[in-house]
Structure 1
Amino acid sequence: MIARVSKGMLAFYVGITTFLTLILVLFSFLHAYHIAHWWKVLVETRVFFIPLLFYILVIATGFGFLAYLLILLFRKRIYGDIEEKLRLLAAGNYESPLIQEEIPHSKENHYVETIDKDIRECARKMQEMSGELQLLNSRPQLVDGQTKEEILEVERHRLARELHDSVSQQLFAAMMMLSAINEKAKKDHLPETQQKQLAMVTDIINASQSEMRALLLHLRPISLEGKSLRQGIEQLLKELQSKIKIDLKWDAEDVSLPTGIEDQLFRVVQELLSNTLRHAKAKELEVYLHKIDQNVLLRVIDDGVGFDTSQQKAGSYGLMNIRERIAGIGGTLKIISFKGQGTSIEIKVPVVNQPNAFDDGN
């Protein structure tokens, strides 16, 4: 019954029942003494200058509130552990000791024990699925004799080289010429309107250069090239710090994951940094990488313009790609963002123990 009706509705029903019961008792008492117009007694009879009806309403409300507290305590005692296990399961903490802990046996919570058993079974199956996803992701997928990663890496190298050799160089040359024109404009005392227009053009080219740097960062090779995930992230951030005017903070520790999973996480970090530089207009950026219990936690936080997470925009392709990558390795992604208050992205990947996972069944 409690599961189907809300606590508030049950308390309301208790209050109404109490009120009607008190009215019925009063009516029976007055009827036994042959007192007509019993309803006038409720209004005209006063205790401490307050009508009797008010006391009846207070008593009914008190019983309803008491019922609400009792139901809340009962539900917390019976369903509290179940709710906590479901939260952990939704967050990807499949190996949490609380999920694996069995609820004590008793006659009154047999239904809860059944739910608890189903939750533990779901946790076990989701853990197995995460391991299978990570194993599948770690195996090379061949296309015409080449892995998909090799094809993408070659194409990214080509695009990055062409962009750097053409567009990036042209933007740099345009910036140099504009700097000279701006200095000459100041010396020749050109009208303020023309100087403002030159400044606007300079700002546009500056923004284009930042966009180009973000694109080149996005097109870098997806492989860590023998480095650990921590080393790759730190090298990426140090290189970014030398090229972009942004306050960077990071705290990364060594984590042990299959090579394919680390490559995917490294690529996700690249895409998140690229998205931040291109869209967030952030002045500060923080990156954290830690292992907590049986999960690797990656967090990227910026103080940029933020966005409405409930709206799907055409420019959200990058986030869609990140979601697919994280889902492909059995992880979870949580995005918290508010307009004008920045964005926080939290990625959690379970560390699944896979003995003989790479033996191909031999």
Structure 2
Amino acid sequence: MKAIIGRTIFLTLTFSTIVAVFSYLFFALSIAEYQRLLLDTEAADMPLLVWLFTTIFIISLGIASWISLNSRTRENIIIGKLQDLYAKQEFTSSNKMKKQTNRSIEQLYEVLEAQRNSLRKITDERVETQDKMIQERIVQERQRLARELHDSVSQQLFAASMLLSALAEQAEEGPIRKPLQQVERMVQQAQLEMRALLLHLRPAALHNQTLAKGLEELLSELQEKVTFDITHRLEDIVLSKGAEDHLFRIAQETLSNTLRHAQATEVEILLIERDGLAILRVQDNGVGFKQDDGKGGSYGLQNVKERAIEIGGSCKIVSVPSQGTIVEVKLPILKGELTDDSSSVGR
């Protein structure tokens, strides 16, 4: 409102000055004649000066109102575009604004979009760095726990097992012999649980080795610590780094579950390539389980299935009570797949 009043007064004075100068230059009247013309000439009982000033004021008010309305309309359009720029993060040019205004807002949008992308990138990199640090700390902690358990608890369980075995052999038939044998079996089962835990805690890292070489070292190390026989057939297959890490972890978890639950005497590991598929199979002759009784989860096989899906493979589990369990993972081999691909990261 103040802008309209100010513009009206300014335009009234301007138009009045223009009319006065125009009349003086073109009509060449004296001041007395001007006074007589403006004050003595009347229309509807009002001097001509009043009519002239009123007309100029009304025209000035109309022009000022139009200018203010037009300015407010353009201002509202600009405000709306800026609000869209903030809320919707988008900008479309408007025909109601000047090209220069459109271009200026568009440049502002481009700057803001570039800054947003830069902030997203910085945030993603920070999160990835934090995740990497957390994973490294988890691996270090698992290695530390595995070393401590192996050097202390595992050795103590082994010593207790040997002592109980000697006591059971020396004990005569009587009430003490059976409890000793039961305790011995409990300690042996605890040893199996400990070995399975140590196997599970071992990080799934191949250290720039092939999957076949890593599995061979894992099985050789495991064979020295378990009572069942392990046979294997491992072929060198070119896979991505992520796929190798996942398959290594699948074999590791499956063997851990077999050691803990299966009560097997024989385990067979296959890693072969057939018809464009990498096939990993772990088979045991243990107690097995009924696949429809909901106990398959005790083997931790759901995690194995999820890992297989993450690398684009499939997992098939066949188990028959008292006959054993087969876990088979099939993964399509992509042509031209690079061994240093790390798109899939093991958990």
Shift of 1:278: 0.5
What is aligned with 2:160?
174
* Residue of 201, 205, 208 corresponding to 1:226: 208
- CA–CA distance in structure 1, aligned partners of residues 145 and 315 of structure 2: 29
- Is 1:257 equivalent to 2:262 in the alignment? no
Q: 1:316: how far off?
A: 3.1
Q: How many residues align?
A: 216
TM superposition shift of 1:147: 5.5
Rg larger in structure: 2
SS of corresponding position for 1:142: helix
Structure 1 residue 242 displacement after superposition: 1.6
Given the alignment of the two structures, is residue 243 of structure 1 paired with residue 225 of structure 2, yes or no?
Answer: yes
TM-score by length of 2: 0.57
Q: CA RMSD in A?
A: 2.5
Match of 1:199 in 2: 181
- Measure the CA separation in 1 of the matches of 2:167 and 2:138: 41
The one-letter code matched in structure 1 to 2:243 is: I
Q: Which residue of 1 aligns with 2:276?
A: 294
| Matched residue type, 2:263 | K
Within 5 Å, give how 1:270-309 maps onto structure 2.
Answer: 270-309=252-291
The residue type equivalent to 2:191 in the other structure is Q
Quickly say closer, same or farther: Cα 1:180–1:287, change in 2 above 3 A: closer
Structure 1 residue 148: Cα displacement? 6.0
- Is residue 287–residue 321 contact of structure 2 (8 Å, CA) maintained in 1? yes
- For each residue in 1:41-63, what CA deviation from the matched residue of structure 2 results, as whole angstroms up to 9, or x when unmatched? xxxxxxxxxxxxxxxxxxxxxxx
Query: Which of 122, 138, 151 is the aligned partner of 1:165?
Result: 151
Structure 1 residue runs of 5 or longer lacking an equivalent are 1-140
Counterpart Cα distance in 1 of 2:242 and 2:292? 31
Q: What's the CA shift for 1:171?
A: 1.4
Return the alpha-carbon distance in structure 1 between the equivalents of residues 175 and 337 of structure 2: 71
8 Å Cα contact 2:276/2:332 also seen in 1: yes
Corresponding letter in the other structure for 1:333: C
Residues 296 and 164 (structure 1), Cα distance of their counterparts in 2 relative to 1, 3 Å cut: same
Structure 1 residues 199, 259: CA separation in 2 closer, same or farther (over 3 Å shift)?
Answer: same
Contact 2:288/2:322 (CA < 8 Å) preserved in 1?
yes
> 149-158 or 339-348, which moves further after superposition?
149-158
Sequence identity (%): 49
Q: Of 294, 318, 342, which residue of structure 2 is paired with 1:336?
A: 318
Aligned partner of 2:176: which letter?
Answer: Q
Counterpart Cα distance in 1 of 2:311 and 2:133: 18
Residue 306 of structure 2 aligns with an amino acid whose one-letter code is: E
Distance 1:170 1:200 in 2: 18
> Which residue in 2 is equivalent to 1:211?
193
Mark the runs of 5 or more structure 2 residues left unpaired by the alignment.
1-126
Alpha-carbon contact 1:335-1:345 (below 8 Å) kept: yes
Please tell me the residue identity of whatever aligns with 2:225.
K
Shift of 1:359: 11
SS in 2 for 1:207: helix
| C-alpha deviation, 1:197, in angstroms | 1.2
